[in-house]
Amino acid sequence: MKAEEINKKIEISWAAVDIYLNKGRISIPDLVEKTKLSATEIYSCFPNKKAILAYYYPSLVFQYWAMIDEIDDFDSYSISEKFSNFIYTSFDMMSEKMEFVSDTFKKYGFDTWTGSEYHEEVTTLFKDFLNNDADIAVSAAFFMNDFYYKTLATQYLFLVNFWLNDHSENKERTLALADKSASLFEEIVYNKTVDKTFDLFKFVFGSTSFENPFSKLEDCWNWSESKEKQGDSNEETEGEDKDE
């Protein structure tokens, strides 16, 4: 989708949110008046009024992409700092339209997350965070796939829902949960223990012949059998000496 088309959809959606906050509903005539676009132009972007309101949520992610483009050292942020930055920034953006979010998040953002554009955009953002972080452990690649990115996006939606229902002062419980979750996640994906274990095995096995990795065991087995035969032979010789 071209940037111009995205910006046009954001404009329509945010205008619809303002109308919703003023009137508790939206109508196409009101949108036409506020955006100065024709009804045909509006319907060329959205199939219905529900889709217009629902687009507010993926538009938050698009707005965030534009914000981080303005942060010169964003690439130097740790993975926990990137996740925390997105979480806190999205909370701030939603706080500006808190009444709308409280009324609609469950309907447009949470209950319909599967396959929704909102969920897909958050998934894409998190995938970008992880794929462009040079400090991610090599072993972390074993579980980083599309399903994993989607799971992270789903967990974010649960966090937003928790935030909306958090009645602690300044929503401290949500902020603490977000901070601890981001820190734990960083510990997991930055942990190099498994990488070092692989390196150790590569060194150990790389120093031995792979033509027969059990050759040492076979040598021990043959040596043991030889000793047993030698012992039996000695016993027979001793028996013959006694008979004589």
pLDDT tens, position by position, 89-116:
999 999 999 999 999 999 998 876 667 8
pTM for the full predicted model: 0.79
Percent of the chain that is helix, strand, coil (3-state, to 5): 80, 0, 20
173-188: pLDDT as tens digits: 999 999 999 999 999 8
Banded pLDDT at 230 (limits 50, 70, 90): low
Answer positive or negative: Cα dihedral of 167, 168, 171, 176.
negative
Q: What are residue 49's phi and psi, to 5 degrees?
A: -70, -30
Average pLDDT over residues 8-36: 96
Rounded average pLDDT over 60-72: 94
Please count the helices (runs of H) and the strands (runs of E) in the chain: 12, 0
* Averaged pLDDT score across all residues of the chain: 85
- Residue-wise over 57-92: b if at least 16 C-beta within 10 A, else e? bbbbbbebeeebeeeeeeeebebbebbbbbbeebbe
Q: How many CB atoms lie within 10 A of CB 56?
A: 24
Residues 6+ apart with CB under 8 A from 138: 195, 198
